[in-house]
Structure 1
């Protein structure tokens, strides 16, 4: 069970992400300094109790209206070997001390727990509360298509598109993590996917949306 500490981080998460976001291939330029705000998300527990796992939604105004970004994060008490390119930054936590903050799509612990969530072996947790499930996060998985459990790679191999980060899972399956979220279209929600994670967020005007946060494909 992840314990949510009511304390400070210096620099804060939003400061780290405001520097990191504009360098990502899926970021929508605004022509002004980045100013993301938190808009939703959830957490997963690390079975070993060592790595913090958070799926954060940020919104930012652009010329075409607000853009919602999905940023999976991991928080570690020591550097992740071989993941220098995935490091977002370091921060001093008021209780836990120095934390190394990573792009979670390249952290095997987050990828493993996301696969467990998809397969019904893990439960989404509330973003800001300890030991509290988040029933608004829903999953679908066609367990007949792939062996269960599907295990993550030791070092996730990722490729970025304009809206997604794709994680290779061996020779065939791939996990597509949405980076620019779109409101759910029931008629065309991740066509061809054998598994999906759906969750919600709010736009700055308070409008609630739901969309696909991650989808699993056979190839």
Structure 2
């Protein structure tokens, strides 16, 4: 379950994404993007927010932007830092490209391997009550692939530079004897997706998309 708070955030998540994307080799021509939807994964330790955004670029294409949100800097994570932001409930937050953050890598791998889906979203109200809401995007793993090192990654340190590469619109993360492929420009998913992939969609804004793969 992802516990959310009614709060103001500066900069907003979309502002942070728009400022960061032009520096990425897979998004040089993205222009101003708009959010189509987002889904979250559960961090088992409950420390790191893990949220993936599906956004539409200026040309009408879909980009996938996974982010992590931390209450303290990720050691050795400067390469992956997207921005810092102020959250009116949680205080300062350090925001990272998920592909460099083991918390995202572990939760993505586990979701694929376990044929699981996005986390439930529960919003804590000002009076302390909690209300569940529907995610604005959905994701589902197809199972059939062993998670990376049983997903027991060291969530305290960023992944080494040689573990993460960008190739033809995909970010490849090699760790634990396996490779996670994160599609930065997700295309339509096959009607009968194979084992070892993550598919998802942002409501009626997109059809089923192939978001990620897990291979050994």
Name the TM-score class by shorter chain: 0.7 to 0.9
Q: How does 1:68-217 map to 2 (within 5 A)?
A: 68-120=62-114, 123-126=117-120, 136-143=138-145, 146=146, 150-151=150-151, 153-154=153-154, 155-156=158-159, 157-170=163-176, 172-186=177-191, 194-201=195-202, 207-217=205-215
The answer on whether the counterparts of 1:69 and 1:180 sit within 8 Å (CA) in structure 2 is yes
Give me the TM-score of the superposition, normalised by structure 2: 0.82
CA spacing shift, 1:126–1:180, aligned 2, 3 Å: farther
The answer on whether the counterparts of 1:111 and 1:152 sit within 8 Å (CA) in structure 2 is no
1:3-51, Cα deviation, whole Å (9 max, x unpaired): 1112211111111111110111111515xxx311111221011111111
Q: In structure 1, how many angstroms separate the alpha carbons of the residues matched to 2:21 and 2:147?
A: 36
* Structure 2 spans left out of the alignment, 5+ residues: 124-130
Matched positions, count: 202
| CA-atom RMSD in angstroms | 2.6
Give me the TM-score of the superposition, normalised by structure 1: 0.81
Task: Give the secondary structure class of the aligned counterpart of 2:151.
Answer: coil
CA spacing shift, 1:194–1:176, aligned 2, 3 Å: same
* Structure 1 spans left out of the alignment, 5+ residues: none
